[in-house]
Amino acid sequence: MNSIGRTEKIAKWGTLMDTRTTSLEAPTKKVFLLINRNFALLWSGQVISMIGDFAFSITLTLWVATQIGRGQVWTPLAMSGILLAASIPVFIIGPAAGVFVDRWDRRRTMLWMDAVRVVLILSLLLATGIVPLPITSQGHLSLVWPLGIIYSVVFLESTCAQFFNPSRFALIGAIVEKVDQGRASGLTQLPESLAFLVGPLLGTLLFFAVGVQWALILNALSFGISFLTVLAVRIPQASMTVEGASEQQSGFFREFIEGISFLMGQRVLRTLLISSLLLTLNEGVLNTLEIFFVTGNLHTSASLYGLLSTDFGIGFILGAVLASRFLQLLNVAKYFWLVFVAEGMVILIYARLTNFLPALLMMFLFGILVGIVNSVIMLLTLQVTRQELLGRVMAVRTPITTLALMLSAALAGYLDSTLLRNFHTTVLNVALGPVDSIFTLTGLLAIVGGLYAMIDLRHVIPAIRLDEE
């Protein structure tokens, strides 16, 4: 009996020790504000980097307008050259970059792109005259040379972004568990919106307070900080095999076509693309015509125009925060189309306003909805796209939406200045003018996009729940 009792005690003691050991080795999972250490590093680096991006854009604008091209008749053309240099890589290099993003180590790609961008931004110091160069001493070349350097650097920096951004998106899928990807999708929208608010102000202050040289140095430093945060990211071992899944390459063209085919053949991705293109029309039209809406329809001074952009930015931040909190708690896969419809409804109401204060409210709501929509699109893309195809899907999607934005802006300007220039009519006792008519049309298209998503996906994703492991 003693031996049996002693054996039972030993067994019980061993069980107790196993339980204690297990509890020590597998502590309760902590909930971080920024999900986990890797995502927190990536997110914080992008906040600083994107603020640097917006500050850099303002720095270049002020530099060309107030120094390089000051008093020159070609200054507006020189300014448009900056936009052109930044846009060309999006369409020419962006789609192809996705193939290499899916072939390469995403984290290493991001490190290389950040390192190259540090060198590129610092090379702009040559155009400031910090080092006297013979070619810039006299005559016409003293103006052509700095512009040539600026355009080249902007083109190459934009090229780096075509590799960096899809890599960052794909890396999120590797370092964030599926159950947390709803929060990650919302939080990922915050860096750009914060940068939108802080970057232009910071760039202006730096340019006039310390000069263009220090403004460029500080922007290069922001990419350096991004480099260090990405360097500190550690990809989980379970995701390392996925990262290396594309090592068996089947040829560039075949992989490129595979990415396009997956985007257009996967029903959820295709529907999201079509619906979001209809939503993008709103942004392009607002960017082009809102100043005329403020002065003409709202009967307000143009000096208040900037408040609408700030108001939109604050709403966007709130929308991203709300999305990070609630996307994983709701069956957003089934009801996301409602947000698309709501965005269109807000634009329809906005188009009918004649007072500035209600317009501020509507623009605030519009910002919230855009923040939520962007988070939903990102989340559903992560959910339905194979990890080894994320780079190509994003690299193809981005140029398409960018092109839609540019075309809608150009078309809105054309319609307002030509075909609808003197357009005024009344329908059901509602007065219609050129700008509000264009706004109304884009609002209706946004609603159509939401209803299309509802109908097309009603039997496809009702079972997807984003709050489950």
Could you please state the CATH topology (level 3) that the domain comprising 37-239 is classified under.
Answer: Growth Hormone; Chain: A; (1.20.1250)
Strand residue runs (E) in 329-443: 425-427, 430-432
What torsion do the CA atoms of 68, 70, 75, 80 make, to the nearest 10 degrees? 60
Instruction: Give the lowest-confidence range in 14-23, 185-194, 366-375, 424-433.
Output: 14-23
Give the type of residue at 1. Answer: M
Contact 282, 343 (CB under 8 A): yes
Q: Any idea how long the chain is?
A: 469
CB atoms within 10 A of CB 462: 12
187 closest CA partner among 33, 53, 310, 49:
33
**Max Cα-Cα span within the chain:** 108
Indicate the angle between helix axes 337-351 and 434-456, nearest 10 degrees: 170
Res. 250: pLDDT tops 80: no
Distances (CA, A) of 177 to 102, 170, 180, 367: 20, 13, 5, 28
CA atoms within a 13 Å half-sphere pointing along the CA-CB vector of 11? 6
And the tokens for 182? Answer: 């709803």
For residue range 360-415, what is the model confidence (pLDDT) as tens digits?
999 999 999 998 888 888 888 888 888 888 888 888 888 888 888 888 888 888 88
DSSP one-letter code for 35? B
DSSP one-letter code for 429? T
332 closest CA partner among 383, 368, 366, 285:
383
Give pLDDT, residue 3: 42
Residue with the larger pLDDT of the pair 219 and 72 = 219
Res. 453: pLDDT tops 50: yes
Q: For the domain covering 257-456, report its CATH number.
A: 1.20.1250.20
Res. 14: pLDDT tops 80: no
Give pLDDT, residue 122: 93
- Residues of the chain with pLDDT > 70, as a percent, come to 83
Q: Specify burial of residue 445 (Cβ count, 10 A radius: 0-12, 13-18, 19+).
A: buried
Residue with the larger pLDDT of the pair 275 and 235 = 275
Instruction: Give the lowest-confidence range in 32-46, 202-216, 239-253, 341-355.
Output: 239-253
The DSSP string of 289-306 is HHHHIIIIIS---GGGHH
Torsion sign, CA atoms 119, 122, 124, 125: negative
- CA pair distance 224, 119, nearest whole angstrom: 10
- Return mean pLDDT, the chain: 80
- CA pair distance 89, 256, nearest whole angstrom: 17
Distances (CA, A) of 274 to 129, 170, 187, 323: 48, 22, 24, 22
Q: Specify burial of residue 427 (Cβ count, 10 A radius: 0-12, 13-18, 19+).
A: exposed
Give pLDDT, residue 344: 93
Which residue spans of the chain are classified as CATH 1.20.1250.20?
37-239, 257-456
The DSSP string of 113-138 is HHHHHHHHHHHGGGGGTSS--GGGSS
For residue range 62-79, what is the model confidence (pLDDT) as tens digits?
888 888 877 777 777 788
The residues with which 431 forms a beta bridge, in sequence order, are 426
Indicate the angle between helix axes 94-103 and 106-123, nearest 10 degrees: 130
- How much is the average pLDDT of 253-264? 86
**Collapsed DSSP state (helix, strand, coil) of residue 353:** coil
Contact 346, 366 (CB under 8 A): yes
Residue with the larger pLDDT of the pair 119 and 75 = 119
Contact 340, 446 (CB under 8 A): yes
Give pLDDT, residue 330: 62
Instruction: Give the lowest-confidence range in 116-120, 123-127, 219-223.
Output: 123-127
Give pLDDT, residue 236: 74
**Collapsed DSSP state (helix, strand, coil) of residue 32:** strand
Residue with the larger pLDDT of the pair 49 and 464 = 49
105: left (phi over 0), alpha (psi -120 to 50) or beta: beta
**Residue 185's pLDDT band (cuts 50, 70, 90):** confident
First to last CA, the chain: 49
Contact 115, 227 (CB under 8 A): yes
